[in-house]
Amino acid sequence: MMPLQDKRVLVTRDADKAYTLTSLIEQQGGISIEIPLLHFHALYSRENQKLLERIEDFEWLFFTSANGVHFFFTLLDYYQINRKKLSEMNCAVVGTKTEKALQDQGVPAQFVPHTFTGQSMGKHFAQEVSNENKVLVIQGNLARQAVVKELTDEKFHVETAILYETNVNVKMKEKLKTTLQAGEVDILTFTSPSTIKAFIDLADLEWGEKVATLPCVCIGPTTEEAAIHYGFQSILAPNQYTVEGMMEVMVEYVLHSQ
């Protein structure tokens, strides 16, 4: 018998990225229920075009998510800005998944923090890099401002580029409510604070103690904080802030619960 045999796991991340977690769940015998609660789109604006056209003004680019990497290069190509401008720049990433997204674009990361949160990223960066450097932080519209605050506090010259927008996937509301109402979920998974908020909003009247007591697997500390804030009571978080880490704590929880 496999560790997650017949366990029904709700995967809430966007459809383009759900495959990896779904595959890992199925490899352990579980049943993945994909209900993407968010969707993303690039922000095409004259402001972003002008900002990217002077990309050479900055010594460092900060990427706080794989989505940031994706939409940065989407807009760079859309505005026909030569990627060679990046050759003499440095890039910082928040974690291994963001680093891989950057590498997939043919660009290496010169800085990866020891702990994968925005707060630690800013603190460690300030310890290693002179604050005379100009920094551009690549973000979405709902990004936490921890890294920006820390860099600003350390007297770095910081600008932000809001290159994509995160929206609640309202088309999934009825599917989510029906699934929860039928009791068809054994484990919840969340990969960002935004997915947790979207879950609460879309679950509507189905949100209550029965759902709040379900095992809730969070990818990292910021997502875990959101889960605590909204009242989840059985929260699991890995030491390694990846979907693979999520799977490890999920399997461990189920095995210990038997």
Nearest 5°: CA angle at 12, between 8 and 18? 90
Q: Flag whether pLDDT at 144 surpasses 80.
A: no
User: What is the span of the domain harbouring residue 135?
Assistant: 41-167
Q: Domain for residue 245, yes or no?
A: yes
**Of 138, 167, 196, which closes a domain?**
167
Residue 116 pLDDT more than 70? no
**Strands of 215-218's sheet in order across:** 31-34, 8-11, 187-190, 215-218, 234-236
Q: Is the pLDDT of residue 153 over 90?
A: no
59 and 139 belong to one structural domain? yes
pTM, 2 dp:
0.85
What was the pLDDT predicted at 88? 85
Confidence bin at 120 (pLDDT 50/70/90): low
The CATH number of whichever domain residue 86 belongs to comes to: 3.40.50.10090
In a domain, 2, yes or no: no
Considering the domain architecture, whether residues 183 and 110 belong to the same structural domain is answered as no
Residue 218 — pLDDT band, cuts 50, 70, 90?
Answer: very high
Pair (160, 225) in one structural domain: no
Tell me, yes or no, whether 47 and 152 share the same domain: yes
Reported confidence tier of residue 117, pLDDT bands at 50, 70, 90: low
Percent of the chain topping pLDDT 70: 97
Is 213 contained in some domain? yes
Residues 91 and 128 in one domain: yes
In a domain, 186, yes or no: yes
